[in-house]
């Protein structure tokens, strides 16, 4: 039987590695003061469209319930969290720090790192518009990559206001701006140069350079040769602050400014960023500031956050042979059939215990335990080590407490 396109099964060892990675990410979220929230696996279509716009909302799986309500499986988590805050948490003290690890569903062509069902882990900081919030989000992303086992991952950053200021300075119409943003995002230098040749004028020649302009703080000064200070000062100040704080934590070498970085989602209004490792041709993590999104749900509030595809992180780790350790044997003890009280007592002491399901003798118990990777057999009040056959009374394991 074939699985639906873009989905996969997780065998126990694979799933244990996935859960271990998710636990590492949750640990970062908790240490940064974020609280986990959950939303339904499907939303009303109008909620998805309010967050993503109609074009991107088309990538969702849609269906109708028996009352004719148009519904969609959630294609990402930021929009549902925005809806949750706008409807249930608008009276909560701000800022809100929320996190999640949850499955999402997107109707797109399956390929490596791009599935129709995948897991998003992320954080959202809502109710604060300061550069300090941007810095916190960036630092949490770097620490999450460290915790995932990818301390060499690099992050590219940009600011939406900078790109928009450049395009306004060039003098493009709204339709031309949309076209150029698409070319910039794809780094299509051939098409950009052809556009410049058709458009004419000296200012437009900055566009191909913008697509190639990347590096540290020095590229901000190079940008200012083409765009007056007042138009880009806010975005430049934020990027400078982020780079400065990362440098103070010896993380500055992991962040580069990339003026061609433009995220797909329409709701970004300021900082945008993505994380990469050399082995993969797609991003591991991405996010930014979306100060207008919650207003679409009737609760205007600034917000910034990031999400990561857990499966993409696992692909990167697998390429390096650094997957999280799989779970230990399913049980530590195999207890002979009928010793229910003894098995229960071991469990009460925190042990993982499986019971033999037939009247196997000692030799058969040892064979069963070896086949399943269980290190100890318990029979007749004796604990037997499968590896070397050594024995000790079960009372030693239980601290002298042996159930009658």
* Cβ atoms of 353 and 370 closer than 8 Å: no
Q: Which residue has the tokens 């791009």?
A: 114
pLDDT digits (tens, 9 = 90+) for 225-281: 766 665 666 788 889 888 998 899 888 899 999 988 887 667 888 999 999 999 898
Closest CA to 351 of 386, 381, 376: 376
Phi, psi of 115 (to 5 degrees): -115, 165
Q: Which CA distances in Å does 30 have to 17, 26, 46, 249? A: 20, 6, 32, 20
* Cβ atoms of 149 and 317 closer than 8 Å: yes
Residue intervals in the chain for CATH 3.40.50.800:
333-397
The SS3 assignment for 383 reads strand
Closest CA to 285 of 140, 102, 184: 140
Residue 80: Cβ within 10 Å count: 24
Asked if the bond preceding 181 is cis, omega within 30° of 0, the reply is: no
Residue 404 has pLDDT above 60, yes or no: no
Predicted pLDDT of residue 120: 98
Confidence of residue 210 (pLDDT cuts 50, 70, 90): confident
Reported residue count of the chain is 404
Predicted pLDDT of residue 402: 63
Residue intervals in the chain for CATH 3.30.930.10:
1-150+289-322, 154-276
Residue 369 has pLDDT above 60, yes or no: yes
Residue 257: Cβ within 10 Å count: 25
Confidence of residue 328 (pLDDT cuts 50, 70, 90): low
Predicted pLDDT of residue 330: 84
Q: What is the mean pLDDT of residues 318-329?
A: 76
Domain 333-397 belongs to what topology? Rossmann fold (3.40.50)
Q: What percent of the chain has pLDDT over 70?
A: 94
Predicted pLDDT of residue 179: 83
CATH 3.40.50.11540 fits 1-150+289-322, yes or no: no
For the chain, state the CA radius of gyration.
Answer: 27
CATH tag, 154-276 = 3.30.930.10
DSSP state of 243: H
Can you tell me the distance from the alpha carbon of 311 to that of 336, in angstroms, rounded to the nearest whole number?
40
DSSP state of 323: P
Longest dimension (CA), the chain: 93
pLDDT digits (tens, 9 = 90+) for 76-91: 999 999 999 999 999 9
H or E element that contains 94: none
C-alpha distance across the termini of the chain, in Å: 50
The SS3 assignment for 245 reads helix
Can you tell me the distance from the alpha carbon of 130 to that of 280, in angstroms, rounded to the nearest whole number?
33
Segments in 68-205 forming alpha helices (H) = 78-88, 131-147, 160-170, 174-185, 189-199
Can you tell me the distance from the alpha carbon of 177 to that of 187, in angstroms, rounded to the nearest whole number?
15
* Cβ atoms of 271 and 242 closer than 8 Å: yes
């Amino acid at each position: 039987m074939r699985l639906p396109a873009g989905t996969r099964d997780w065998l126990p060892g694979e799933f244990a590695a996935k859960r271990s990675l998710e636990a590492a990410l949750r640990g970062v979220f908790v240490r940064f003061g974020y609280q986990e929230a959950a939303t339904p696996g499907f939303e009303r279509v109008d909620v998805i469209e309010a967050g993503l716009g109609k074009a991107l909302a088309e990538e969702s799986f849609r269906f109708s319930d028996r009352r004719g309500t148009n519904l969609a499986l959630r294609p990402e988590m930021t929009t549902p969290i925005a809806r949750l805050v706008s409807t249930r948490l608008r009276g909560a003290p701000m800022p809100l720090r929320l996190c999640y690890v949850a499955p999402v569903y997107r109707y797109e062509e399956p390929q490596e790192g791009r599935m129709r069902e995948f897991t998003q882990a992320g954080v959202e900081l809502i109710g604060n518009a300061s550069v300090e919030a941007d810095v916190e989000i960036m630092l949490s992303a770097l620490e999450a990559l460290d915790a995932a086992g990818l301390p060499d991952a690099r992050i590219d950053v940009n600011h939406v206001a900078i790109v928009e200021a450049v395009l306004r300075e060039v003098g493009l119409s709204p339709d031309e701006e949309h076209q150029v943003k698409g070319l910039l995002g794809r780094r299509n230098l051939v098409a950009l140069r052809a556009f410049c040749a058709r458009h004419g004028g000296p200012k437009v020649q900055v566009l191909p350079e913008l697509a190639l302009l990347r590096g540290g703080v020095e590229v901000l000064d190079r940008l200012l040769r083409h765009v007056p200070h007042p138009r880009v000062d806010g975005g430049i100040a934020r990027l400078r602050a982020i780079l400065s704080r990362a440098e103070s934590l010896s993380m500055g070498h992991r962040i580069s400014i990339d003026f061609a970085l433009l995220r797909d989602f329409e709701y970004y209004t300021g900082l945008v960023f993505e994380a990469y490792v050399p082995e993969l041709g797609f991003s591991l993590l991405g996010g930014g500031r979306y100060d207008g999104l919650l207003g679409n749900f009737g609760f205007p509030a600034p917000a910034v956050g990031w999400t990561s595809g857990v499966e993409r992180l696992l692909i990167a780790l697998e390429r390096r042979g650094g997957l999280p350790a799989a779970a230990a044997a399913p049980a530590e003890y195999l207890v002979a059939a009928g010793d229910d009280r003894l098995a229960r007592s071991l469990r009460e002491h925190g042990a993982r215990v499986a019971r033999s399901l037939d009247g196997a003798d000692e030799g058969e118990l040892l064979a069963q335990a070896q086949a399943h990777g269980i290190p100890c057999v318990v029979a007749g009040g004796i604990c037997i080590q499968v590896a070397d056959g050594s024995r000790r009374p079960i009372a030693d394991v239980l601290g002298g407490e042996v159930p009658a």
